Structure 1
Amino acid sequence: MKKIALMFTTFALMVGCRTSSKTDAELDELFMMMQGSFSSEQQAAKDSAYYYISLHMYPIWEDRGHFLYVEQALHTLPDRPYRQRIFELRRVDQNTLSSHSYVLPNDTLWVGKWKTPEAFDDLRLDDLKEREGCELRLVKQDDGSFKGSTGDKTCESSLLGAAYATSQVVIDDQKLISWDRGFDKEGNQVWGAEKGGYIFDKIVMY
């Protein structure tokens, strides 16, 4: 019996090691895909329903986990971003990763700091406010991309009369497709692109 138990324990440890290795590699892969500067210029040039938007996502707190500072602005107004967040990537289970979104205090102080990520070194996670219910759940696809979305009506939003917001994303090593929308209590869309997500081509690799 002791021999059988020892064999089972050894097998379990081997399986656990393989799972852990795969898990770390997959999380690191998504983290790398999300890093860099992105642009919707090509999409905007082809379809006037879409704005020319610049998106910057750069790693911070590299000794604390998988964190990114995210800044999004109209290309013509780079110093007036309409979205600033910190994203944290986590492992949910064997097949699922998650991206959690945090709001920065005094966000105007951080405009353009994607150029100098070390500026965040003195900021603590406790200083941030998590947007609970707004996390993305992402799963790796057969083509190597990651695809995911927020929960159903879990992400509260009051922007432009919305009651909740949804996000759907597809990420690979060349682009990020993001479809953010707001809905009122009756389920009517009140903001966001109507035909599909914004296509952000990666223009600067980190």
Structure 2
Amino acid sequence: MCVGPNQNGWTQARGLVVKTLLLIGGAILVKRLTKSTTRWDHARIVSRSLSGEKFSKEQASRDPDNYFNLRWLSCPAAEMVDSSEVLYFEQAFWRTPNKPYRQRFYMVKPCPKEMKCDVELSTYAIRDAEEYKNFCDRPKDQRPQPEEVIGDIAEHLTTVHLKRCERGKRCLYEGSTPPDGFPNSWNGATFCTSEFAVMKNNEIHTWDRGYDDDGNQVWGVKEGPYEFKPAPSSSFVDMFSPSNLPPQSMDKGIEGSFVLQE
């Protein structure tokens, strides 16, 4: 079939447009693929993963003798001058979310450049923890404001240095305290250690243990870390499941769960 002059010109122009679009699209794709993740990007990913409501319900159902169904709740509370993010964090039994027994501030920032890690995650005590109960559940105008939060950051408790996980692993970031841990005097301990992992789908695994001078573990679960998964839409179903009931004996709870052992 013969092609007239006008038709041929349009075909050439259309081909040029297609080639140009392909080149532009390819350049954008290459730029996105080669763009490196900054130190602060890592810190922001960890902060987002820590935030929200999570439960250990699945783990408690599998192994009710060693794990309770606990509620994890965390949200942004302030930002430091150096851009470190401060998160408020609390834990409670699933059935009594308004009565947290553990309250902390998390401070999230990039690791110092000289260290071989990506994110520094530190925990701090709260000066007046009672004022912060259910912080994340309250309207923002009814919470302590950022400047108050910064003023209420108290004793430094632990620091975990997180690294990006290797390809093929389920986690995104993982890390631990130094082998000698941090000072801790609860229940005969002289030091405690923490292991922490940020998993895919905003799941958090955390394992705290206390040891005496002889290296004997005196508190904390021995079987493995607590596994906190984001709250499903059916969080409030099966309210009276055995895994959701608080322990009959607090002594048993103290022996079986690190979260009660401070």
CA distance in 1, matches of 2:124, 2:112: 21
CA distance in 2, matches of 1:156, 1:117: 36
CA distance in 2, matches of 1:120, 1:138: 29
Matched, 1:60 2:77: yes
CA distance in 1, matches of 2:139, 2:104: 13
Matched, 1:150 2:177: yes
Amino acid at match of 2:136: W
Equivalent runs, 1:1-206 vs 2, <5 Å: 22-48=38-64, 49-62=66-79, 65-94=84-113, 95-116=117-138, 118=140, 119-121=143-145, 122-132=147-157, 134-143=158-167, 145-174=172-201, 175-203=203-231
CA distance in 1, matches of 2:129, 2:70: 19
The answer to which structure has the higher helix fraction is 2
Q: Output the TM-score relative to the length of structure 1.
A: 0.81
Structure 1 residues 50 and 126: CA distance shift in structure 2, 3 A: same
CA distance in 2, matches of 1:117, 1:191: 36
CA distance in 1, matches of 2:144, 2:179: 32
Q: Is the 8 A contact 2:198 2:205 kept in 1?
A: yes
How many residue pairs end up in the alignment?
186
Q: Output the TM-score relative to the length of structure 2.
A: 0.65
Amino acid at match of 2:208: D
- Report the RMSD for the aligned CA atoms in angstroms: 2.2
* CA shift for structure 1 position 62: 4.6
* CA shift for structure 1 position 71: 0.3
* Shift >4 Å, 4+ stretches: none
Structure 1, unpaired ranges of 5+: 1-17
User: 1:125-176: CA deviations, max 9, x gaps?
Assistant: 24321325x1111011134611011122231111111111111011124211
Amino acid at match of 1:189: Q
CA distance in 1, matches of 2:134, 2:182: 27
Amino acid at match of 1:162: A
Identity, % of aligned positions? 25
User: 1:41-84: CA deviations, max 9, x gaps?
Assistant: 01001101111110001111157531110001122332322210
CA distance in 1, matches of 2:144, 2:216: 38
**After the TM superposition, which of the residue ranges 157-166 and 137-146 deviates more from structure 2?**
137-146
The answer to which structure has the higher strand fraction is 1
CA distance in 2, matches of 1:76, 1:164: 31
Structure 2, unpaired ranges of 5+: 1-34, 233-262
* CA shift for structure 1 position 124: 4.3
Amino acid at match of 1:33: S
